[in-house]
Amino acid sequence: MTYRSPRDLVRGAAAVHGDRLAVIEAEERLTYSALAARTAEAASVLKRAGVVAGDQVALAFPNSVAFLVWFFGILEAGAIVVPLSPTLPAAAAKDIMETARIGFLAADDSVAFAGEIGMTPVPGAQIGAGTGSTLWRGAGAVPAIETRPWAQDGIMIRQFSSGSTGRPKHMFRTEWNYFHNYRYYCELLGLGSDERLLGVAPFYHASGAGSFQVALHLGATLIVMPRFLPGAVIQTSLRHRPTVFRATPPMIEALGSCWIERGDEKAFDMIRHCGSGAGRLSEAAVANFFKRYGVRVRNQYGSNETDTATIDLDDDYQEGRVGRPYGGIEIEIFDDAGKPLAIGERGKVGIRSAAACKGYVDEPELSAKVFREDGFVFPGDLG
């Protein structure tokens, strides 16, 4: 697969597939040319507001066309995207903004914390695609991060761990990291431009971002849903017939056990690939989903540091089994001294992948424990 900067996913797709349907959201439909025009408008708005290469711009939206427009508008402006949950408490959002020294925020007008963290709206910064959204600016000058946009080592995304084991850890992902995340997935599964991807997992999270990454890379169609509600997912799928569904275990469990009407079992008849990641997937959930819809769910494994690294394509699913690495990714099991163990021995999981980040921001001691110089990353799992 030929490398192309992920910053240009929308522009590149528009150049080749301009008239093809890019996004469906409720009753709105956008071709790739229309989506590219809106992202270019967003990039212009950001530049007029003072955003320069290396600036960090936070993004807080539910899944929507507006999320995509601002996301790629930020990238086309040469800046760094910082995706945030739109439901963050104001205190948590302010902590992230101050710790990361983020100077701008693009947010849906439904985001409660936007007006509570010491930022002010940028006058005249609305765009046609951003109806119901606002660009905010921090009070003081914030220096840009030294990076090289459109270079393979250029910083493109700042993301965070969940904070489940303490304060969230910050990580930078380069354009090279991001490219390989969707490259591995598309190559292994043999996906093409005729796919229709169901985008319902949160786009601000890596598990949801994969849906729009893959769709735009392929020149395929993305079906956007603002949130997961089982009935809405079933009805949307009956209407638009997705072929790829990147889900999470709670989604699989809910869809396999919720009340359905006659005919709803055909909702996923066109699915070629249904994957589940970002949590433990039970055998019961897989069995119930298959019994109801006739679709096998493929368990995936990865981490915040590495993105998705393995997938289980076998039909006899066993809980806890995560399959084999994607092509180009290495996984080994190590002892406490960092030496590789033989097959069948239990130890620490090490992952070496071009999609993995290189360390935690401003945490050299912790980074040294998790990220080895030879490229192996230790996310803290045993295998």
**Using one digit for the tens of pLDDT, what is the confidence trace for 166-191?**
678 999 999 999 999 999 999 999 99
pLDDT of residue 367: 96
pTM here is 0.95
pLDDT of residue 128: 62
pLDDT of residue 129: 47
CA gap 38, 228 in Å, rounded: 26
> How many C-beta atoms surround the C-beta of residue 167 within 10 A?
10
Flag residues of the chain having pLDDT under 50.
129-130
Give the residue carrying structure tokens 């600016």.
137
Q: Which CATH number fits domain 29-173: 3.40.50.10330, 3.40.50.980, 3.40.190.10, 1.20.1250.20?
A: 3.40.50.980
pLDDT of residue 125: 81
Strand partners for 172: 158
CA gap 103, 106 in Å, rounded: 11
For the chain, the 3-state helix, strand and coil shares in percent, each to the nearest 5, are 35, 20, 45
pLDDT of residue 131: 61
CA gap 78, 147 in Å, rounded: 10
CA gap 297, 80 in Å, rounded: 34
Q: Interior CA angle at 235 toward 205 and 213, to 5°?
A: 30
> How many C-beta atoms surround the C-beta of residue 63 within 10 A?
24
CA gap 179, 12 in Å, rounded: 14
* Cα–Cα nearest to 155, from 92, 100, 226: 100
* Cα–Cα nearest to 196, from 170, 218, 177, 220: 220
CA gap 47, 39 in Å, rounded: 12
Q: Interior CA angle at 77 toward 72 and 80, to 5°?
A: 70
